[in-house]
Amino acid sequence: MNISMNELKASLRRCFEASSYFVGNYEDAANMILWLEKHGLNGLTELERLLPFINEDRDKPLSSVVYEDSTSAIIDSHGRSALNCIAASVDLAHAKALENGIATVTVHNCHNRMFILKALTDRGRCGISVAAYWQNGSQTVTEHAAAIKAGERYPSYSEAVTNLPANTDDKQALTIICSSRVDLTASLQQSKGNRNARYISAEQVAENKQHSVENGIEIDNDLWDEVNRIGTGVLVENTELSRQGAGGR
Amino acid sequence: MTTPAAIQNSLRGDNALPLRPPSQVMDLERLGALHQSRLSFMRTLVRRIMRERWQIEPARFELDAEGYGTVVYEIQAPHGLYSFVLFSDYLSPDERNDRVIATKWDLTMALVEGQVDDTYLEKLRQNVPKQEAGRVDARVFVLSRANRSARNFDYVVDQLAAGQQPDVDRIAKVGYLYRTTAVYGSGKLGMADWEKVRAKHKDFARPFAGEMFVCLMLRNFSLLQAEHIAAHKTPNTFKPMQPQIKRYFGIGNSTGLGMAPFLVNHPLLINQWIEMRELALARVRALGNVNSRVQQELSTLIERCAQHTRDTVTEDEWQTRNNVQVLEDLAALQSHTADGFDNWNSLLQWSEANNSLQGQEMLVSIMLEIYPELVDELEDYHDAEEFLDLDPLMPLQQLKQVIETRYDWALATDFTAEGARETCWYRSEEKMEPRLGSVADEEAKQKQMALGVGYAVSKCYEQLCSYVAEHPQHTTARFMVARPKMRGIVRRIQSMNRCVYGDIQANLLDQNILPMHLLRCKLAFFGVGKFDPRSKLWVRNTMFQGAPLLEDIGKPFSDDWFMPLAPLQSGQL
């Protein structure tokens, strides 16, 4: 079915709020998914993939800094979804870059890393350049790179299927490079063995957005129902007492 | 013509105008005392329509003798063509319900981009009358419904059918034929998102312009329908309504709690509205020349506001007391200025010392009314990019200082005191309607919406203080990694610190909170009048009373429908 971006955002907010995401974070999570979908980068596919695990993060430890110096940090996200932890990592890279010109933050044990694109965009808009790189897949390894220039509104994104051997010790890692001095770009090299490579320029990302703004968003009925079903967790039962709090006669 | 740079220059820095301080302006009780002004959205919309001479013509007019059927208007505005589509259906009296949970209405409406052909009209017919139970697409950008004020409507039809005019005194009591009970935009039910409206439909690219336009069209239709039914009832005796009486009819509106969370969830937008109103006031204070013409105009407007207030009918004791107080304030103001006055600053100071908040804000609205040349150009600056961005580099000592300065009101609130966190706001499973409850209701407490900004700030401050003691050199970014649950409120604090006015200064969790102030604040920005609270949670009011009629477009326009008064009935002196 066709829905508006605002409907998707509102339903996702309820969905994550009902799944124990905290204030501020459920808005972020909703915005991250919406951003990807709105810009033609399959946010709803990512959402579908994570929904079965949506409640798992509530019992996991919060991210912790395992190493830090003035220009770098390593953060362990303890298997959390990027939806509820990656923005803080990008912010840390941003702060270090402002102090030192360039900084690197590596995040370990983080799922759904594609959602970093929204966090990159927010930082780019605030006048700093950011690039991110990660690999994914336990059998076939894919690699991904995204970057935004300082002051821009849209990032570029590239991905490819590699012939790299699967890493049995996969740390679900992601590397963030941030600079207040250098405009970073990130496109995957034409490496031997890479296939199905695609590069989406910032201009294409902007064009994709125009389509969503004009026409709204297509969503699978079952997925829409499921998001809304989870979201009912924030609604309070309709009782006589409750009706009095609505102010009606 | 002003520019964003000129506005910034007037708001901040060495050349800033004398703005009232946030502690004064953002006080909830004062926000709840605001009145309509020439920057209200109804006024700015009507100015635009009249100046640009929009062409609004019926493209389809299929009403039976009872006034039921389909009407489509085409609106040719400078940037595009739009259609206003209206369905009028029979509704039995026992089905008529103004609450958001209703499922049938007398009228349902949609504002649509472009022309509407038969196929698309049929699609709208299948969905628009169902409102929340239907779906539309991104061509539609406003959806609304309205119910008849049955007694008034039948009375007006009978009068016109008998060749008589409606009694103006009676209209003064209930100044409308229909009440709108919901006006939806911004992507609800599959409609176009605000992002599209803002970018594509320049004619409606101001906050709530489309929504206000639908209400204006509804007001026009209500008059047309009453005449249509009367003319069919007794064609031989029917006489149309006199234009001056028509203009005195507005549209009724019922507003409930749903509006309250909007103000908390859109702090940057609300700040922008307040900044423009306060900037307009500061311009008048600094640049408004006072001469004999201005003194006469002030006196006339004081009397007009007093008469408008006397004409406001409400059974609500609280509102009645407020109205009585406003009348006393206006009388005092009239007397104080009878021998003239020198400048607006001293008059405003006098008002702050001698008038109630409602009286003070009435004077502000009057001041704006007198100086269109200083005020009107600010109407183009009521939109805001709503990014609550984190400043990751801000040192924590500075963040602490920001809280102490900008949120001193929150830190001064004792949230452990009895009743300080008694109220919770939540969404009901019934149409997700926002409701107010007590924390004694465990489910409501668990599922409450995050509207307690003051409380969240005070919790954040506690955590920040203990963190700073351990890590005095850390940045906000590092604090966010360590305390991710604070991210939402820290982002808000930093963002609102970049604004002149910032957050509304009130503890919305307090047991004595009056949501009416929030509703009233937003409705004043819309430009409604005749507030008639029906409980502490919902209020009836009147929109577009006194506004020009569609048939007035293209004729000379004085933009003088502030606090409208009843016209003289034919035969009266």
What is the chain A residue with the closest CA to B198? A213
Q: A186: which residues sit within 8 A by CB, 6+ positions away?
A: A131, A132, A133, A145, A146, A147, A156, A158
Is the CB of residue A70 less than 8 Å away from at least one CB of chain B?
no
Inter-chain CB proximity B193 and A89 less than 8 Å: no
* B280-301 core/surface letters (b: 16 or more CB in 10 A; e: else): bbbbbbeebeeeeebbeebeeb
Contact between residue B435 and residue A246 where contact means Cβ atoms under 8 Å apart: yes
**Given the DSSP bridges, would you call strands B423-428 and A235-236 parallel, antiparallel or unpaired?**
parallel
Q: B119: which residues sit within 8 A by CB, 6+ positions away?
A: none
Rg of the Cα trace of chain B?
25
pLDDT at B573: 42
The two tokens of residue A156 are 């570029």
Q: How far is CA B557 from the centre of its chain?
A: 23
Q: DSSP assignment, residue A182?
A: S
- β-partners of residue A158 are A145, A199
Distance CA A206, CA A210 (A): 7
Q: Which of A22, A65, A247 sits opposite B256 (nearest CB)?
A: A247
pLDDT at B570: 65
Distance CA B451, CA B421 (A): 11
Instruction: Give whole-number Cα distances, B536 to B15, B290, B539, in Å.
Output: 42, 40, 8
Inter-chain CB proximity A126 and B389 less than 8 Å: yes
Inter-chain CB proximity B481 and A89 less than 8 Å: yes
- β-partners of residue A199 are A158
What single-letter amino acid sits at B205? A
Inter-chain CB proximity A24 and B480 less than 8 Å: no
Contact between residue B18 and residue B346 where contact means Cβ atoms under 8 Å apart: no
Is the CB of residue A1 less than 8 Å away from at least one CB of chain B?
yes
Look up tokens 């009878």; give the residue.
Answer: B338
Distance CA B484, CA A22 (A): 9
Q: Which of A1, A28, A245 sits opposite B437 (nearest CB)?
A: A245
- β-partners of residue A133 are A145, A175
Residues of chain B with C-beta less than 8 angstroms from the C-beta of A241: 437, 441
Q: Which of B193, B437, B450 sits opposite A242 (nearest CB)?
A: B437
The two tokens of residue B157 are 């039809």
Inter-chain CB proximity A125 and B194 less than 8 Å: no
* Separation in Å, CA of A117 to nearest CA in chain B: 16
Q: How far is CA B247 from the centre of its chain?
A: 20
Distance CA A144, CA A116 (A): 11
Contact between residue B361 and residue B34 where contact means Cβ atoms under 8 Å apart: yes
Mean pLDDT score across all residues of chain A: 92
Is the CB of residue A125 less than 8 Å away from at least one CB of chain B?
yes
Q: B108: which residues sit within 8 A by CB, 6+ positions away?
A: B86, B87, B89, B128, B129, B131, B143, B144, B145
Query: A24 or B403: which carries more pLDDT confidence?
Result: B403
Q: How far is CA B62 from the centre of its chain?
A: 33
Residues of chain A with C-beta less than 8 angstroms from the C-beta of B101: 248
Residues of chain A with C-beta less than 8 angstroms from the C-beta of B399: none
CB atoms within 10 A of CB B572: 8
Is the CB of residue B429 less than 8 Å away from at least one CB of chain A?
yes
Global pTM?
0.95
A72-93 pLDDT, tens digit per residue, is 999 999 999 999 999 999 999 9
Inter-chain CB proximity A242 and B435 less than 8 Å: yes
* B203-223 core/surface letters (b: 16 or more CB in 10 A; e: else): bbbbbbbbbbbbbbbbbbbbb
What is the chain B residue with the closest CA to A121? B389
**Given the DSSP bridges, would you call strands A102-111 and A72-81 parallel, antiparallel or unpaired?**
parallel
Inter-chain CB proximity A235 and B387 less than 8 Å: no
Contact between residue A129 and residue A179 where contact means Cβ atoms under 8 Å apart: yes
The two tokens of residue B420 are 């300080």
* Separation in Å, CA of A14 to nearest CA in chain B: 10
Q: B327: which residues sit within 8 A by CB, 6+ positions away?
A: B306, B309, B310
Residue B131: left if φ>0, alpha if ψ -120 to 50, beta else—which one? Answer: left
pLDDT at B102: 80
Interface test with A, best of B393, B471, B491, B511 (most A CBs within 10 A): B393
Inter-chain CB proximity B429 and A28 less than 8 Å: no
* Separation in Å, CA of B288 to nearest CA in chain A: 39
How is B434-486 classified by DSSP, letter by letter? EEEEETTSHHHHHT--S--HHHHHHHHHHHHHHHHHH-TT-BHHHHHHH-GGG
Inter-chain CB proximity A91 and B390 less than 8 Å: yes
Low-confidence residues in chain B, pLDDT < 50: 573
Q: Which helix (H) or strand (E) holds B182?
A: strand B176-184
Residues of chain B with C-beta less than 8 angstroms from the C-beta of A94: 392-393, 477
Q: B57: which residues sit within 8 A by CB, 6+ positions away?
A: B73, B74
What single-letter amino acid sits at B282? A
Contact between residue B205 and residue B213 where contact means Cβ atoms under 8 Å apart: no
Kindly report the length of chain A: 249
Q: B10: which residues sit within 8 A by CB, 6+ positions away?
A: B16, B17, B279, B282, B283
Closest CA to B272 of B566, B565, B4: B4
* Separation in Å, CA of B349 to nearest CA in chain A: 37
* Separation in Å, CA of A160 to nearest CA in chain B: 31
Contact between residue B81 and residue B106 where contact means Cβ atoms under 8 Å apart: no
Inter-chain CB proximity B193 and A75 less than 8 Å: no
- β-partners of residue A68 are A73
Residues of chain B with C-beta less than 8 angstroms from the C-beta of A2: 137-138, 190
The two tokens of residue B477 are 């970014």
pLDDT at A239: 84
Distance CA B306, CA B300 (A): 10
Contact between residue B532 and residue B316 where contact means Cβ atoms under 8 Å apart: yes
Supply φ then ψ for residue A171, to 5 degrees.
-95, 10
How is A11-52 classified by DSSP, letter by letter? HHHHHHHHTTPPTTHHHHHHHHHHHHHHTTS-HHHHHHHHGG
Is the CB of residue B430 less than 8 Å away from at least one CB of chain A?
yes
B416-456 pLDDT, tens digit per residue, is 999 999 999 999 998 888 899 999 999 999 999 999 999 99
Contact between residue B143 and residue B184 where contact means Cβ atoms under 8 Å apart: yes
What single-letter amino acid sits at B250? G
Q: DSSP assignment, residue B164?
A: -
**For B150-247, where are the alpha helices, taking DSSP H only?**
150-161, 168-173, 194-200, 209-233, 243-247
- B window 433-492, beta carbon within 8 A of A: 433-437, 441, 443-444, 447, 450, 456, 475-478, 480-482, 484-489, 491-492
Contact between residue A28 and residue B215 where contact means Cβ atoms under 8 Å apart: no
Distance CA A204, CA A41 (A): 11
Is the CB of residue B532 less than 8 Å away from at least one CB of chain A?
no
Distance CA A21, CA A13 (A): 9
Q: How far is CA B393 from the centre of its chain?
A: 37
Map B354-388 to HEC letters: HCCHHHHHHHHHHHHHHCHHHHHHHHHHCCCCCCC
Q: Which of B389, B481, B489 sits opposite A75 (nearest CB)?
A: B481
Look up tokens 């990027």; give the residue.
Answer: A82
- β-partners of residue B74 are B57, B83
Interface test with B, best of A26, A213, A224, A240 (most B CBs within 10 A): A213
Distance CA B547, CA B528 (A): 11
Instruction: Give whole-number Cα distances, A80 to A59, A139, B486, B511, in Å.
Output: 10, 21, 18, 38
Is the CB of residue B536 less than 8 Å away from at least one CB of chain A?
yes
Look up tokens 């400043």; give the residue.
Answer: B391
Residue A238's pLDDT band (boundaries 50, 70, 90)?
Answer: confident
Is the CB of residue A140 less than 8 Å away from at least one CB of chain B?
no
Residues of chain A with C-beta less than 8 angstroms from the C-beta of B199: 213
Residue A247's pLDDT band (boundaries 50, 70, 90)?
Answer: low
Query: For residue B335, with 0-12 CB atoms within 10 Å meaning exposed, 13-18 middle and 19 or more buried, which class applies?
Result: exposed
> Strands, E, within B197-346: which ranges?
250-255
Contact between residue A196 and residue A160 where contact means Cβ atoms under 8 Å apart: yes
* Separation in Å, CA of A95 to nearest CA in chain B: 5
Distance CA B11, CA B25 (A): 15
pLDDT at residue A242 is higher than 50: yes
Contact between residue B241 and residue B165 where contact means Cβ atoms under 8 Å apart: yes
pLDDT at residue A248 is higher than 60: no
Contact between residue B561 and residue B40 where contact means Cβ atoms under 8 Å apart: no
Residues of chain B with C-beta less than 8 angstroms from the C-beta of A27: 488
Residues of chain A with C-beta less than 8 angstroms from the C-beta of B257: 246-247
Distance CA B434, CA B427 (A): 4
Interface test with B, best of A9, A23, A85, A107 (most B CBs within 10 A): A23
Distance CA B436, CA B239 (A): 48
- A window 228-247, beta carbon within 8 A of B: 232-238, 241-243, 245-247
What is the chain A residue with the closest CA to B453? A23
Residue A63's pLDDT band (boundaries 50, 70, 90)?
Answer: very high
pLDDT at A194: 80
Mean pLDDT score across all residues of chain B: 95
